[in-house]
Amino acid sequence: MEDYTFESGNLSFYAIEDRNYPDEVDIVVAHDDYKEEDRITIINGIYIFLDNYLEELNSVTTIDNLTVISKDQAEIDLIPIEKLKDYLIWREKEFLEKYDGIRHNTDNDNYSSLEATLKNGLQLVAIINTTLLDWDSKASHPWILKVEIKYDGSKNNGMPDNDSYEQLNNFEDELMLELKDFDGYLNIGRQTADGERIIFFACKDFRKPSKLLYNLATKHSGKINLNFDIYKDKYWRSFERFRPN
């Protein structure tokens, strides 16, 4: 790959441990011939190497954060890259022992209604499960599903009219029927503003939500304008903005 090789002879790593986020797997990989001007090429090469090297382990699911550096940028002693697989297997086993099977029943949870004003002056309204925001087992549901639904709010200060409200709520009910809390899918809440509703779920895995949303997008094509994204956020830091100041 553009005169670079990626192998055990020129790659090494170390792990960063953070007491505030003990379940995150934060890996730093060093390349012996790292050059800043070729940073993108080297990063891509390392990702390809890891996909092949880890085999049955999926780098996307086992590594939360990956940083690429040169050897002289290392802050602690580097470890041969061939020991990375054993380290990740150990971390995954430790994680499963801690969180496997953990579920949360949302029936008695508390919810808060939050309001804010956007830069364009339109109102934002959010309904958030505040009990979940304080849950101490967030890492057991590390995948965040974000569903974005567009509607016409031009005649109602960015908010949906009655027909749109009904359509949005029916769609969310459809999601809830498939993504149930006792199966490992937690509805964090939703926000509505400026012609868009966004629904958030925290999930134990990404496969079922991804397949479900693909099928729903196909089913409602031409009727509902929706997009979705699934990203990893073990400690739900993307929801901190919903906490009261």
Q: What angle do CA 54, 70, 11 make, to 5 degrees?
A: 30
What lies within 8 Å, CB to CB, of 126 at 6+ separation is 113, 114, 115, 116, 189, 190, 191, 192, 242
pLDDT for the residue numbered 1: 61
Looking up tokens 């057991």 gives 140
One-letter amino acid for residue 208 of the chain: K
Give the C-alpha separation, 185 to 212, whole Å: 12
Query: Residue 106 pairs with which residues in a beta bridge?
Result: none
13, 84 Cβ separation under 8 angstroms = yes
pLDDT for the residue numbered 60: 77
Q: What angle do CA 206, 210, 216 make, to 5 degrees?
A: 150
Q: Whole-structure pTM over 0.85, yes or no?
A: yes
Give the C-alpha separation, 201 to 229, whole Å: 11
Give the C-alpha separation, 238 to 234, whole Å: 10
For each of the chain's 245 residues, which pLDDT tens digit applies?
A: 668 999 999 999 999 999 999 999 999 999 999 999 999 999 999 999 999 998 766 777 899 999 999 999 999 999 999 999 999 999 999 999 999 889 999 999 999 999 999 999 999 999 999 999 999 999 999 999 999 999 999 999 999 999 999 999 999 999 999 999 999 999 999 999 999 999 999 999 999 999 999 999 999 999 999 999 999 999 999 999 998 76
| Distances in whole angstroms, Cα of residue 137 to Cα of each of 23, 116, 144, 169, 186 | 10, 28, 14, 28, 12
User: Model confidence over 85-106: pLDDT tens digits?
Assistant: 999 999 999 999 999 889 999 9
65: exposed, middle or buried (Cβ count in 10 Å: 0-12, 13-18, 19+): middle
Domains of the chain: 11-99 (no CATH), 111-242 (3.30.70.100)
